[in-house]
A and B are shown apart, each in its own frame.
Chain A
Amino acid sequence: MTSRRSFLAAFYTTLLLVATGTQAQERFITVASTTSTEQSGLFGHLLPAFTKASGIKVRVVALGTGQALDMARRGDADVVFVHDQAAEEKFIVEGYGVKRQEVMYNDFVLIGPKPDPARAAGKDILESLRRIEAAKAPFVSRGDKSGTHAAELRYWKTAGVDLNTRKGLWYRDTGSGMGPALNTAASMNAYILADRGTWLAFKNRGELGIVVEGETRLFNQYGVILVNPARHPHVKQAGGQKFIDWLVSAAGQKMIAEYKIDGEQLFFPNAGR
């Protein structure tokens, strides 16, 4: 009987140790952001500098823009850092966010197989999309309500292609993040709209290359918003605001400009401009 008792005692002690070990408290804020900022490595570059300057740790949950905003609506984040202006403004109007501040931009690029079977290469994203549709060339869509997905749908609409009627086997709605969607596109040699940051950091390119870039319409603005403490009282207002202030400060903006992959700058700071 004693061996049984000591066995159980050891069991519960372990349990207690595990429970207390995971409860360690520290100063941190939670930021809901996009896969593009996380997977491009930008946060890995920025956050240590901010933590060093402020003593506040930042926990990033990387989702699509739509999901990130929904997570903040539920009160599960202190700050959102995303890229879909229309959705961000709606978030503010609904009263979930305090104020939207612009931080930086990069651009979208149309990616496609290098032989370019749809002859989509050019300087006009709308014309390229029309050609892809006309050729029924495989096109991979994020289909996940992310900022990139929202932009893609906008381009199709502006190009005059009504996806509801034209959508066929060539249009592949994957419902996945930027990286997984790029993996899919690489394996089926499809066209895909991507943000430049994720594309530059992406390694499994296969036959893919940039087909359209450097067009004004492909501009991709990132904004940052403090979740409204009036709506969610537990929001870490002071820490969250400090992070936002740092992002748009000279120091934060300089850090953003300095982030490069293979000598190429990924994000261009434009706060307060």
Chain B
Amino acid sequence: MGEIATSLVLAGELVATGDERLAAIVMLSLQVSFSATLIACLIGMPLGALLAVGRFPGRRALIVLFNGLMGLPPVVVGLLVYLLLSRAGPLGPFGLLFTPAAMIIAQTVLIVPIVAALARQTIEDEWREYREQLRSLGASRLRSAMTLLWDGRFSLTTSGLAGFGRAIAEVGAVMIVGGNIDGVTRVMTTTIALETSKGDLPLALALGLILIAVVLAVNTAAFVLRQWAEKRWG
């Protein structure tokens, strides 16, 4: 228990003193994972809506595929993106490896299935409820998908948050494609892994506690924002 207490104190001290390097690392973590979540929502939510509303061959297989891909191992995604972005890979000439952009790409790939699969479930439930109504209005399936996406925007925040949670907590993918370069691609999780490697377990745990606090703060903000928006526009 001594070590955990030490970590708590350490975490408090780090936050209280406003450690500049820590602040930069937290900011980069947020920047990378927010960007990935944003892009994943832009891809995953329409995709989820089409899977929910659409009728085309292979739809069931796709649903199962996306459900399965929610369990994508981050290391595998990292490796895949690494091979694509490496100088010897097909996207090598862009020189994106070991940049925050590479980390955004990897996290996006990782969480698109999560966002898509959860969005599909949400939209499908709505579809069941409003199907007849939309049909009587003469809305096409595409039109219906768009309407349901817009109507379900508040419920869909949960799928976005699930994606964000996965993105900001993973270490395997960003470690490989980012390289954990000090001041460039070092984020919360890779810092925690590094401090664990150095055997500085109290500091590693303190950073972990701060990460959890940051994620909680983001979720609280999202919750409050959603309540407010629902009251205003809902």
Contacts and interface: CB of A to CB of B under 8 A. Distances in A.
A56 B92 CA distance: 23
Interface residues of A, number: 36
B13 interface: no
B188 to A, nearest CB: 17
Interface in B25-60: 31, 34-35, 38-39, 42
Interface of A: 3-4, 11, 14-15, 18-19, 21-23, 30, 35, 39, 43-44, 59-62, 74-76, 177-180, 182-183, 186, 201-205, 232, 234
A202 B201 CA distance: 10
A39 B197 CA distance: 8
B199 interface: yes
A75 B196 contact: no
Nearest to B101: A22
Contacts of B42: 11, 15
A18 B199 contact: no
Nearest to A8: B42
Interface stretch (B112-120, B122-130, B136-144, B174-182): B174-182
A179 B87 contact: no
A184 to B, nearest CB: 11
24 contacts: A11-B38, A18-B31, A18-B34, A22-B100, A22-B101, A35-B197, A39-B198, A43-B182, A59-B184, A61-B179, A74-B87, A74-B88, A75-B86, A75-B88, A178-B197, A180-B196, A180-B197, A183-B197, A183-B199, A186-B199, A203-B201, A204-B200, A234-B93, A234-B95
B148 interface: no
B199 A76 contact: no
B31 A21 contact: yes
Contact of B196 (A19, A76, A183): A183
Nearest to A201: B198
Residue from the set A62, A76, A202 with the largest chain B CB neighbour count within 10 Å = A76
Contact of A59 (B95, B98, B104, B198): B98
B83 to A, nearest CB: 9
